[in-house]
């Protein structure tokens, strides 16, 4: 019982800490910078975490159960996908392409928020769709929130989470194998680790969204500046990662060297 509790708590803690990795935070910041609701941002974090957990579980389980060995070049290529994803997110953010895609594919207004009607007939944005109560006293449900976001806004963080999971899956699986000897306990740890990542990313995205929500109306110029800064940071960090993996670690050379981390 003590061992089970220790593994569970360790998995949850390390999963939540894993959510704070710089590449993870930068990736989600480019997404939530265009949102106008803390609840909506938290849901984005949950979706990202589920995509990340899916890859961690599938790749990690293959390594644990079937002793799959990932070649250095393949491992580096999986990590390179994160750098390329950050470059893409930063480019789409800075050029406004991402916002136009959201405007076309997500129901409601240009920033992806739907509008409601109060009793006087005036419209207003549903900024915190998970918790906000409408004027007539009806609560907005998570189901209606998901529907209002649109398929594109749901698939985007899911795909980004899956790509990020590829980069970290080998390191997580190898760490588990060195500390836990029973393969089924190792599989269980992967799931608990994934749950911790989901919780951590939900909290992080909600916190990141707070300044964007606060400044959306009162300090619009500052809001736009933060959105641009998140795009520049994503682009710059993506270029740095790609250079380190492709040149320094030798992915594009004849002798790649890879240490899962």
Render each residue's pLDDT in the chain as its tens digit; 261 residues: 557 788 889 899 999 999 999 999 999 998 888 776 888 899 999 999 999 999 999 999 999 999 888 999 999 999 999 999 999 999 988 988 766 766 666 555 444 444 444 444 444 444 443 334 333 344 344 455 555 566 778 898 999 999 999 998 988 988 888 888 889 889 999 999 999 999 999 999 999 998 888 877 777 878 788 889 999 999 999 999 999 999 999 999 999 999 887
51: Cβ contacts below 8 Å, ≥ 6 apart: 157, 158, 159, 160, 161, 162, 164, 165
How many CA within 13 A on the CB side of residue 241? 26
Q: What is the Rg, in whole angstroms, of the alpha carbon atoms belonging to the chain?
A: 20
pLDDT confidence of residue 102? 65
pLDDT confidence of residue 144? 53
pLDDT confidence of residue 108? 53
pLDDT confidence of residue 175? 83
pLDDT confidence of residue 149? 62
Q: Could you tell me which residues are beta bridge partners of residue 123?
A: 117
- To the nearest 10 degrees (0 to 180), the angle between helices 220-243 and 183-218 is 140
Nearest to 209 by CA among 37, 7, 15: 37
Interatomic CA distance for residues 166 and 23, integer angstroms: 13
Q: What is the pTM of this model?
A: 0.81
pLDDT confidence of residue 130? 37
pLDDT confidence of residue 150? 67
Q: Could you tell me which residues are beta bridge partners of residue 133?
A: 139
pLDDT confidence of residue 105? 61
Q: Nearest 5°: phi and psi at 232?
A: -65, -45
Under DSSP, the state recorded for 244 is: I
Interatomic CA distance for residues 132 and 256, integer angstroms: 52
Interatomic CA distance for residues 185 and 177, integer angstroms: 10
First-residue to last-residue Cα distance in the chain:
30
pLDDT confidence of residue 177? 86
Answer yes or no: are the C-beta atoms of 82 and 164 closer than 8 Å: yes
């Amino acid at each position: 019982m003590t061992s089970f509790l220790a593994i569970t708590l360790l998995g949850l803690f390390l999963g939540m800490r894993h959510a704070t990795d710089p590449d993870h935070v930068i990736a989600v910041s480019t997404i939530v910078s265009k949102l106008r609701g803390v609840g909506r941002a938290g849901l984005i974090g949950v979706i990202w975490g589920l995509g990340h957990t899916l890859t961690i579980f599938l790749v990690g389980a293959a390594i644990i159960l079937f002793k799959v060995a990932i070649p250095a070049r393949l491992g580096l290529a999986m990590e390179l996908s994160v750098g390329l994803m950050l470059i893409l997110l930063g480019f789409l953010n800075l050029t406004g392409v991402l916002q136009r895609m959201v405007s076309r594919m997500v129901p409601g207004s240009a920033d992806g928020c739907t509008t409601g009607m109060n009793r006087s007939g005036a419209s207003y944005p549903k900024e915190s769709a998970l918790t906000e109560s409408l004027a007539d006293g009806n609560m907005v449900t998570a189901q209606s929130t998901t529907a209002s976001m649109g398929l594109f806004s749901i698939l985007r963080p899911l795909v980004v989470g899956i790509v990020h999971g590829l980069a970290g899956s080998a390191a997580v699986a190898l760490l588990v194998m060195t500390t836990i000897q029973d393969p089924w306990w190792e599989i269980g740890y992967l799931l608990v680790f994934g749950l911790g990542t989901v919780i951590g990313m939900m909290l992080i995205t909600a916190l990141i969204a707070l300044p964007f929500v606060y400044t959306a109306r009162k300090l619009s110029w500052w809001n736009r500046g933060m959105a641009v800064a998140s795009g520049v940071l994503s682009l710059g960090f993506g270029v740095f990662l790609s250079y380190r993996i492709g040149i320094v670690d030798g992915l594009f050379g004849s002798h790649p060297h890879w240490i899962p981390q």
